[in-house]
Amino acid sequence: MQKNEEEPLSPMARVFQSPGIDLCALINIGFKTKINPDVVLDALKQNVYKHPQSENGEKWIETKVNVEDHVIVPYIDPEEICEIGQSFVDDYISRLTLIPLDRSRPLWDIHILNVKTSDAEAVGVIRFNHALADGMSFISLVLACTNKTSNPDMLSTAIPSVKRRSTVSHSLEKNGWFLRAIFTIGSTVRLIWNTLVDMFLLFATVLFLKDTKTPLKGGANVRSNPKKFYHRNISLDDIKLIKNVMNMTINDVLLGITQAALSSYLNRQYEQAKNSEEDGALTSYPNNLPVGIRFRAGCTVNLRSDIGFKPLAEMMVKDSKCRWGNYFSFIILPLSIGLETDPMVYLKKSKAMMARKKHSYQAALTYFLIKISLKVLGAKATTSLFNQHLMNITTCVSNVMGPMEEISFHGHPVAYIYPSSYGHSHALLIHYTSYAEELTITITVDPTVIPDPHKIFDDMEESLKTMKAVLWERGLL
């Protein structure tokens, strides 16, 4: 390929593929039938992929791929697996986090595990360096490779269009110019103020502002520790029900549930610590949480002007408004950790927090500053600053919308899809992914810090159940 045809990496892609970060993503796909490896190989052959190949990692170049080098089918003795298929898969994926991708070839591989788990007959694991794409891009790739289960002749394109919400109410739009002008001035002042505060807190986080040390916060070596990945499905209809009754977004509901669950989990952890200090006395304290916990989460924000899913071919077009790649940024969410007698308080706090964050240019400015930093300070210094920011907060959360109906890969029906990542400086990551009528919660943990992640799932399910029950008792359902 000629030099003028080469494409530069996006700022986030350059950061993710730097040796100081080397952030990798996983897409775990459960299948309802055993997988034929030949089908996967045939589907991948004759394709051209792009990956950062130049010496300084600044350009994409096209390269031919030897597919056999990237598709791995380990030998599995069924007699050794027996009834522990899920544990085998969990341990296998965890070991992958300790094995770096081979930088002499395109930075991805696919692992086929024909092992029966708790909710699938076989599992496919797609591993890739996060520099290749973000979650939205790879979901589009999955859709391009699959078909609707209900109609195998049709590609799986069943993802609704998404539009950014207007910040101007319909009532104001109908009023006169004076009220609209007052609202515009007030909104602009708040936007500027919110952005200044957010950027100040971002710089403070990079330099010195750290979260409270809690049982969920990792130490200095957490990035190099092996990670484990767990998932659990909940009803997407229940989430939508609360969303409609409370007049909020799905993200608001998910963050409210997350705040409630993490508060309950941490309260138990502190209670156990107190009981241990009191020589094992089984004293029950209603509230064991320290006052004023600073617990923040990094949250990904899609920066594309068109935030809806598009066909893969359209995303690959050079001037597409919904381009393939890493076109997203981060914002910092201050999660509310505390016990509330009314579970609806968690939802109200999450709604207010998200409304406040949406009325700020922090995400766009952060992306711009990373781009400038790469030019002025170079990749190594920028990566160091980015990693310092991650180390000073506790976790990251993301939500990726998936297909609305069941899909199949060349005759293999898909049971679930969930993405995650590793190589970060957190002991806890939380991802949400919708698929068909369910929502999959994925938790990535450092098991040396969080040995009981299933209890976080239990707290999430209990929080959702309690919120729904309260709405029912108040006659809102």
Tell me the catalytic residues: 130
Nearest Cα to Cα of residue 136 among 373, 359, 320, 387 = 320
Longest dimension (CA), the chain: 77
Amino acid at 313: A
Tell me the torsion sign for CA atoms 221, 226, 262, 20: positive
- For residue 160, the one-letter residue type is P
Q: Could you say which DSSP state residue 155 is in?
A: B
Beta-bridged to residue 51, according to DSSP, are 61
- 385-391: Cβ within 8 A, 24+ apart: 385/206, 386/15, 386/21, 387/20, 387/21, 387/223, 387/425, 388/206, 389/202, 389/205, 389/206, 389/298, 390/298, 390/424, 390/425, 390/426, 391/220, 391/425
Q: DSSP strand E in 311-456: where?
A: 328-335, 395-400, 407-409, 412-422, 428-435, 438-445
What is the dihedral sign for C-alpha 18, 391, 330, 238? positive
Neighbour order of strands in the sheet with 24-31: 71-72, 108-113, 122-129, 24-31, 412-422, 407-409, 147-148
Q: Which tokens hold the place of 260?
A: 């409630």
Three-class secondary structure of residue 271 per DSSP: helix
Best CA proximity match to 402, nearest among 377, 385, 425, 419:
419
Phi and psi, residue 113, nearest 5°: -120, 100
Write the single-letter amino acid at 203.
F
Cβ contacts of residue 72 below 8 Å, gap of 6+?
A: 109, 110, 111, 112
Distance CA 13, CA 8 (A): 10
Helix or strand run (H / E) with residue 278: none
